[in-house]
Amino acid sequence: MATIARRGILFIVSGPSGAGKTTLSDAVLRVFEDLELSVSYTTRAPRGEEIDGVDYRFVDRERFDAMLAAGDLAEWAEVHAHRYGTPRQPLERAVAEGRDILLDIDVQGARKIKELFPDAVSVFLLPPDRATLAGRLRGRGTDDDATVSRRLQNACREIASAPDYDFLIVNVDRAAAAAEFEAIVRGERRRVARMRQDVLAAFVRRFETEP
């Protein structure tokens, strides 16, 4: 028995738009078969090749607001007149059952998740500098100049919250950033404070009592 049973871990990856959160999340999810992505609910329409239940759960406003009223959302926000929210019960279940969840989430959402789940591991992904960030935001080619400019301002404001996170990764090279995130996942899984203390105690006691 090389693994001592433990609580599940919520890994939050956050950072400004354009930092590379989604690319990083995809890379880390490919490495860890036993890391699940938290899928948000949203009232906006699917874009491009987005798949319901994979990228988001696309719901109408009525359904969204019913979840909100029932307390079923761990965090939610309205962005450009669309609502986005993270369902709460799957996170609670995962922690109790020892499964790990990855949340790719904006700065405001990350703050709320961390309030609700203080044991969550929060990782802030930083672009190396403002020029690189601006280049990445323009490079998407999906938004007009005014939108890019507004996003850049928002991003630079959001970066001010980096010191509130547990870990910080500067995304110069995507492979290096993914390797650092992987190390954080592997390391945190070995943390004694997350292990089930009854199981750990039993494991330790066996050394005293075995023949």
Query: Contact at 8 Å (CB) between 12 and 114?
Result: yes
Q: Rounded distance, CA 88 to CA 156, Å?
A: 29
Nearer to a copy of itself, 37 or 168 (CB): 168
Does 48 contact a copy of itself by CB under 8 A?
A: no
- Counting residues that bind a copy of itself (by CB under 8 A) gives 52
| Residues comprising the chain, all counted | 211
Nearer to a copy of itself, 54 or 201 (CB): 201
CB atoms within 10 A of CB 205: 10
Question: Which DSSP helix (H) or strand (E) runs through 63?
Answer: helix 61-69
- Binder to a copy of itself among 63, 172, 174, 202 (CB under 8 A)? 172
Amino acid making up residue 59: V
Does 133 contact a copy of itself by CB under 8 A?
A: yes
Nearest Cα residue to 178 out of 11, 20, 72 = 20
3-state secondary structure of 43: coil
Please give the residues from 3 up to 42 whose contact with a copy of itself meets the rule CB under 8 A.
Answer: 3-4
Does 144 contact a copy of itself by CB under 8 A?
A: no
- Binder to a copy of itself among 11, 64, 117, 124 (CB under 8 A)? 124
Query: Contact at 8 Å (CB) between 102 and 25?
Result: yes
Q: Which stretch binds a copy of itself (CB under 8 A): 42-50, 75-83, 95-103, 164-172?
A: 164-172
From the CB of 137, what's the least distance to a copy of itself, in Å? 13
Nearest Cα residue to 75 out of 36, 107, 29 = 107
Residues engaged in binding a copy of itself (CB under 8 A): 1-4, 123-124, 126, 128-131, 133, 155-157, 159-160, 162-170, 172-173, 176, 179-180, 182-188, 190-193, 195, 197, 200-201, 203-204, 206-208, 210
